[in-house]
Amino acid sequence: MRPRSLLAALALTAPLAVAASGAASPPAVAEKQGEAAHVLAEIGAIDRQLSHTVDAYDGARVQLAAVGAQLRRNRAELVRARRTLRLAQARLERRIVLIYTSEQPTALDILLGASSLSDLVDRLDAAREVAAQDDEIASEAAAAKADLERREARLEQAKREQQQTVARLAATRTRIESALARRRQLLSSIRAQIVQIRARERARERRLAAEARARLRHERLLALAAERERAQARARARAAAAASHTTSASSPPAPPSPPPASASPPSPPPASSSPPPPAPPPPTPPPPSSGPVGGGHPEAAAIAARYLGVPYRWGGASPSGFDCSGLVMYVYAQLGIALPHYTVAQYQRGVAVSRSQLQPGDLVFFDGLAHVGIYIGNNQFIHAPHTGDVVKVSSITGWYAQTYVGARRI
């Protein structure tokens, strides 16, 4: 990843949005956690790039120091070469002057140094040979000087290039360190947002749990009151039927009409006749219907509310920890109903219920049957969402409404 692209990515920050109604979908925290993981991965990549850049920067500085040391050594050798060349050139000049000024032998030379003319010629040839050697030394010194000068020029160029490399790597290092600092700051901000979201979620969950418990208690009291009223109505109906039967049995029969004169007197009724049978009691009114689909287990909602706050645990099916289908299985087991620990299999139980006919205790399914909860009324349900969360109350809105699959009444 190039530094420019990394710096451009700093502007990509997802806005924080939590619904005031408390119906935020679970991805509110999950998205921030995903964003944090993405930024953390970017930080790792930037950190690795910074490590490579710092290594290259340190290597370039070492190379620059080595070039500087070579340049200093070369300059010292160049100084020595220039001095050697000057000495060789001076010696060669003196040698040449001596030879050409001594080419005409004098009597004094012959007398002082040579025994004969041939001896003098031999001496001159030897001097010329020494002069040639001096010339060769001077030429070598000049070549060494020229080579050192060329080498110095190359070292100067290498030094300039290495300085540019060091400067470029230093600038890259600064940009990467700045990008790294910004991404770390972003990560810290995201983590702080996650903490805030979780705190708000916990407060919202506590409020929803308290409201759900209160509502379920109220609905339970209403159900008990309705049951008492139905029982009293049945008792009143039985009492009325019994009173009607008693009244009809205790009232005397009406006197018979006098027979006509020509008719014979009626014969008395047989002694063994019994009173007429009592009238049957009126039928008991049926309980109020819950819609097209009857039955269900609304008490499952109240049972599920007992486990609000229990932590999520993958594969869990006990108060020490639940997953979504484990919570449903555990709650319905307390009603004597065995359900499998598998959302797809639970969806195959009971009967389908439309969303408009939902009642407490129905099972609601989401996300392609990957998640299940227990409906508690008021468009809310109790469920065990995911790792890191707890059993809580959520509303069928937002993400849940978008991924809603259906409901079953057990």
Q: Which helix (H) or strand (E) holds 374?
A: strand 371-377
**319-332: string of b/e by CB count within 10 Å (b at 16+)?**
eebbbbbbbbbbbb
**246-276: string of b/e by CB count within 10 Å (b at 16+)?**
eeeeeeeeeeeeeeeeeeeeeeeeeeeeeee
Q: Which residues contact 143 (CB under 8 A, 6 or more apart)?
A: none
3-state secondary structure of 408: strand
Q: Is 371 a catalytic residue?
A: yes
Q: Is 297 a catalytic residue?
A: no
> Given 38, 218, 341, 371, which residue is catalytic?
371
> Given 245, 324, 341, 386, which residue is catalytic?
324
> Given 245, 297, 383, 386, which residue is catalytic?
383
Structure tokens at 36: 């944090």
Residue 234 dihedral angles phi and psi, to the nearest 5°:
-65, -40
d(CA 182, CA 50): 14
User: How many residues belong to the chain?
Assistant: 410
Three-state SS letters, 342-355: CHHHHHCCCEEECH
3-state secondary structure of 225: helix
The residue to which tokens 């230093």 are assigned: 170
The residues carrying an active-site annotation are 324, 371, 383
